[in-house]
Amino acid sequence: MKYKEFRNLPKPLVKSIAIICVATALIGVSLGSLAINYHLPIWIPLLLSSCVLAGAAEFTFIGMIASGSSPITAAIQAY
């Protein structure tokens, strides 16, 4: 989208888009910090963020992997 087209959007729509972007960024940062805290490789939260569309399932998967569960069991439980 070009800047000219972006300027023509209604202000409430731009505000809603900005709020969703900030909320998504905060969830991403918290998932990444959780994975780093559990000493997991960085590719795990990146892969989860791009493949899983449910935030709670991502956090459940990270928590189960960190507690010693197998990835298959964590994937089944998270879904």
Domain ranges of the chain: 11-77
Give the angle 60-70-72 at the CA atoms, nearest 5°. 80
pLDDT in tens, 6-63: 788 888 998 999 999 999 899 889 988 989 999 988 888 888 888 877 778 888 888 8
Q: What is the pLDDT of residue 51?
A: 81
- Residue 79 — very low, low, confident or very high, per pLDDT cuts 50/70/90? low
Q: What is the pLDDT of residue 78?
A: 64
Q: What is the pLDDT of residue 1?
A: 62
